Structure 1
Amino acid sequence: MTPLGILMRGAGHEPAHYALVLATAAAAIGRPVTLFATNAGLALFRRDGVLLGDPREGRLAERGVAGIAALLEAATDLGIRLIACEAGMRAEGIEPPDLIGEVQVAGVVTFLEAVGGGQMLSL
């Protein structure tokens, strides 16, 4: 199947949540997926769970919709490649220990190689 690359650059809960929704859905139907986060989008990969405190997480749970924590776990189980942009980390003052353990630190070239001739989405 065609690889899917998702560039997560937007701030906040909504783009992060939907990036995970798209990534896990694509992986569930057998597509290889790489989720690459940079700059403000790196909040998704932060160990401190800054996005988990967003009020939308509670509303999603009340309505039976998977939240960020569940989707990140599913992403790991589905073999989605999670990459934190090295330059974006420097720009945001984020160090590798600040990230969840499943995340690889690499650059844009690594992301582009992973996606190859596949599709790319940007959120």
Structure 2
Amino acid sequence: MSIKNSTNADAAGVEKLSLVVFSGSFEKVHYALVMASAALATGRAVTLFFTMEASRALLAPSGWRHLRPDAQGATATSLDFGYSERGVATFEELLSACADLGAKFMVCEMGLRALGLEHEKRRAELTIEVGGVVTFLNDARKNGEMLFI
């Protein structure tokens, strides 16, 4: 068995993780950021394609607070605070880590339009490309992985 060191891989062989972030669940969007930041930290390129209810996570100033929690009686804010109290990275920390490590953020034009969010302000500190499924698929690499969350 050979182990490939991603830092020594040539540009053509670099692995990529492409995430379709569809769910409007706070916990699922949070975990998509966990996966993205871990992939980035291990040398993989990452594209996060937010669509439908998950698109709210990219709205200004903190649209993620409007994501619905899966846990009954909780809010996105209370879950995030609880994570922080237990030493788990918060939503903002993960989003910043992804941006700092070079993640590509995309938001689905159709998803925004379907929810009437196309004119809402997006987070100014992130470079967010608005595009469609074809744009996302053209960004994905044949030698990468694609996950739907």
Q: Equivalent residue for 2:148?
A: 122
Matches within 5 A, 1:3-42: 3-42=16-55
Unaligned runs of 5+ in 2: 1-13, 66-74
Relative CO higher for 1 or 2, CA cutoff 8 Å, sep ≥ 6?
Answer: 1
In 2, Cα distance between the equivalents of 1:97 and 1:43? Answer: 9
Q: Equivalent residue for 1:80?
A: 103
Q: CA RMSD in A?
A: 1.4
Moved beyond 3 Å, runs of 4+? none
Q: Bigger radius of gyration, 1 or 2?
A: 2
Q: Which letter maps to 2:20?
A: L
Aligned pairs, number: 123
Structure with bigger helix share is: 1
* 2:37 and 2:101 in contact (8 A); partners too: yes
In 1, Cα distance between the equivalents of 2:134 and 2:32? Answer: 20
* TM-score, structure 2 as length reference: 0.78
* 1:12 and 1:51 in contact (8 A); partners too: no
In 1, Cα distance between the equivalents of 2:62 and 2:118? Answer: 15
* TM-score, structure 1 as length reference: 0.93
Unaligned runs of 5+ in 1: none
In 1, Cα distance between the equivalents of 2:63 and 2:132? Answer: 23
Q: Equivalent residue for 1:107?
A: 132
Matches within 5 A, 1:26-65: 26-52=39-65, 54=76, 55-65=78-88
